């Protein structure tokens, strides 16, 4: 199957053996390509025992490919295309004083990211674009050539909506009148809402509670909310994913609330949460749980460090990455939602890891100002 044909497959429809074969083929080709075009990556591979094309060719399964710690992108500018081919530079979230990752995209990689992300999200939202409420401020998108992870997320998910409005003003205050007018205009229609977890809680949910206490109820029973960006700060407030969904339903009637897991270092390869609360790996990516003592692959049900692989990064060597998150694969091909592939849980950041999620970074900035 050619690469472009592979990107057209059903996002959750590949049988295990076919997915393993396709990902192994694509990831080996990407490893070889990055080895040839990124000197820093070539040197790293050599220290890991992969110094020639024959070493890559000998790999039988993508679980055997060398991984890069995701933090490496904070230390080095890793790029596999000529600088003149870079059309966008994305940066990860980071608190004041932290280094941020810099991810360089050419047109081909950017197009593949958009294409795959569209297929994944359409599996949850449908193919028709919905009226969209962005639970953030438009002030974020000022530099269109260098995106933060938060800005890239807003822009990326915006392509799934139409007649978009920003629910928050430049001071992060809820535009109640604008929100009410938008809902009246689209009465009887499904509404797509997108934002980052902590900001939804801090600036949207809490304001809805205040309004309800004053007798103003915002009806979002036709809403479909996607959110992501980290749970660390909400966990400190004893807000679990289940509690998050329950509270939102109580205050505004919304029932379809989906979390997602992803990172700027592998934009496009997001892991969506299904209606049963499971994060799913798509046909174009996978998760591997590593034992931190010897880097062996953990069996399903055993926790370890999350490795993520993606067939999308062609302009930088971000296709096989070890994250700083702990997780566990709960199963494969047998989720009640019917989607094929692995499904898993993120248990949290490893101890002493930096705050990296968009929500958690923003929450940390708020706490510093308090």
Tokens at 40, concatenated: 């820093």
Res 26: pLDDT: 95
188, burial (CB in 10 Å: exposed 0-12, middle 13-18, buried 19+): exposed
User: What six digits make up the tokens of 248?
Assistant: 């939102």
| Contact indicator for 223, 189 with CB cutoff of 8 Å | no
- Count H helices, E strands: the chain? 13, 15
Which residues, at least 6 apart from 127, have a Cβ–Cβ distance to it below 8 Å? Answer: none
State how far the alpha carbon of 170 is from the alpha carbons of 138, 173, 202, 335, 368, in Å. 7, 7, 15, 41, 19
- Taking residues 281-310, report their average pLDDT: 97
Check residues 1 and 77 and name the one with the higher pLDDT: 77
Does residue 272 contact residue 281 with C-beta atoms inside 8 Å? no
pLDDT of res. 149: 64
> Which residues, other chains included, contact 245 with Cβ-Cβ below 8 Å and sequence gap of 6+?
257
Name the DSSP letter for residue 299: P
Checking if the pLDDT of 64 tops 80, the result is: yes
pLDDT at residue 361 tops 70 = no
Say which range, 26-35, 133-142, 331-340, has the weakest mean pLDDT. 133-142
Q: Give me the pLDDT at residue 237, please.
A: 62
Q: Can you give the three-state secondary structure of 114-125, one letter per residue?
A: HHHHHHHHHHHH
Q: Is the pLDDT of residue 261 over 70?
A: yes
Q: What is the mean pLDDT of residues 109-132?
A: 91
Residue with tokens 């060597």: 317
pLDDT at 4: 79
pLDDT tens figures, 176-221: 999 999 999 999 999 999 998 888 988 999 999 999 999 999 999 9
Would you list the domain boundaries of the chain? 113-261
| Spatial separation of the C-alpha atoms in residues 284 and 199, rounded to whole Å | 29
Read off the DSSP letter of residue 350.
P
| pLDDT tens track for 296-342 | 999 999 999 999 999 999 999 999 999 999 999 999 999 999 999 99
CATH number for the 113-261 domain, one of 3.10.20, 2.60.120, 3.30.1390, 3.40.50?
A: 3.40.50
Which of 57-66, 122-131, 334-343 has the least mean pLDDT?
Answer: 122-131
Closest residue by Cα to residue 48 from 59, 37, 27, 266: 59
Rounded to an integer, the average pLDDT of 226-240 is 68
Residue 97 is predicted with a pLDDT of: 54
């Amino acid at each position: 199957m050619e690469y472009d044909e592979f990107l057209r497959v059903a996002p959750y429809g590949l049988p295990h053996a076919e997915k393993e074969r396709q990902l192994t083929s694509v990831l080996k080709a990407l490893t070889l390509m990055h080895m040839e075009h990124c000197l820093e990556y070539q040197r790293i591979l050599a220290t890991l025992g992969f110094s020639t094309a024959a070493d890559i060719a000998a790999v039988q399964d993508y679980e055997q490919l060398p991984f890069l710690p995701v933090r490496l992108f904070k230390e080095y500018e890793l790029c596999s295309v000529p600088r003149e081919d870079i059309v966008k530079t994305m940066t990860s979230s980071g608190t004041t004083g932290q280094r941020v990752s810099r991810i360089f995209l050419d047109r081909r990689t950017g197009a593949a990211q958009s294409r795959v992300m569209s297929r994944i999200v359409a599996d949850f939202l449908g193919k028709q674009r919905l009226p969209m409420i962005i639970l953030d401020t438009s002030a974020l998108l000022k530099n269109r050539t260098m995106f933060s992870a938060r800005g890239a997320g807003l822009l990326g998910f915006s392509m799934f909506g139409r007649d978009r409005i920003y629910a928050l003003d430049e001071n992060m205050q809820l535009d109640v009148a604008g929100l009410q007018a938008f809902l009246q205009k689209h009465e009887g229609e499904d509404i797509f809402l997108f934002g980052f977890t902590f900001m939804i809680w801090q600036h949207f949910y809490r304001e809805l509670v205040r309004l309800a206490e004053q007798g103003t109820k915002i009806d979002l029973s036709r809403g479909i909310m996607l959110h992501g960006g980290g749970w660390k700060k909400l966990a400190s407030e004893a807000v679990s994913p289940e509690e998050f969904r329950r509270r939102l339903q109580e205050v505004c009637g919304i029932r379809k609330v989906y979390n997602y897991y992803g990172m700027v270092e592998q934009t496009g390869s997001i892991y969506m949460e299904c209606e049963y609360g499971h994060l799913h790996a798509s046909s174009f990516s996978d998760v591997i749980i590593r034992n931190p003592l010897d880097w062996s692959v953990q069996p399903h049900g055993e926790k370890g460090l999350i490795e993520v692989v993606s067939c999308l990064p062609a302009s930088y060597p971000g296709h096989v990455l070890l994250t700083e998150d702990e997780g566990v694969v709960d199963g494969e091909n047998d989720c009640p939602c019917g989607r094929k592939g692995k499904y898993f849980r993120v248990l949290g950041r490893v101890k002493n890891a930096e705050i990296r999620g968009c929500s958690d970074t923003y929450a940390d900035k708020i706490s510093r100002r308090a």
